[in-house]
Amino acid sequence: MPHSLTAGDPAPAFSLPDEAGGSRSLADFAGKKLVLYFYPQDNTPTCTQEAIDFNRLKGAFQKAETEIVGISPDPLKSHSKFKTKHALDLTLLSDEQRAVLEAYGVWKEKVMFGNRYMGVERTTFLIDAQGKIAQVWNKVRIKGHAEAVLQAAEALG
């Protein structure tokens, strides 16, 4: 099991399919800052709010030269419907094999109503233009989260 990634660690490389039929990799974002947010499931209330919040601030992130990418284990068809339903202009990647979720240490044992199961722990990584992790938000609470990530991206210069 990989150790928890922290600021200063190199961001693990990835290449995953996107809902537009292409694929995106960490290398695609070289020279730019990247918000990589991992979320459990499309169309659930908290995940929907998180995506809407990031989408609402997309222009401000672009001014800060920062791209936003969401990753979940949902299939591409689910991502496509999710984006259309909520008019999201975000890149969403599908990690059905969970290799990237595991590389970033966000595929974890969770407990709900006394039942243990494996799932995505909502986590956001801010990656700098050199591909190093600048900041990590673990067990994200949604209220004010996108704004906090934007402030960190702006402060990163």
Active-site residue set: 47
Please count the residues of the chain: 157
Type of residue at 80: S
Pair 25, 63: CB distance under 8 Å: no
Interatomic CA distance for residues 124 and 9, integer angstroms = 14
Other Cβ atoms closer than 10 A to 127: 25
Contact 104, 123 (CB under 8 A): yes
CA distance 62 to 19: 21
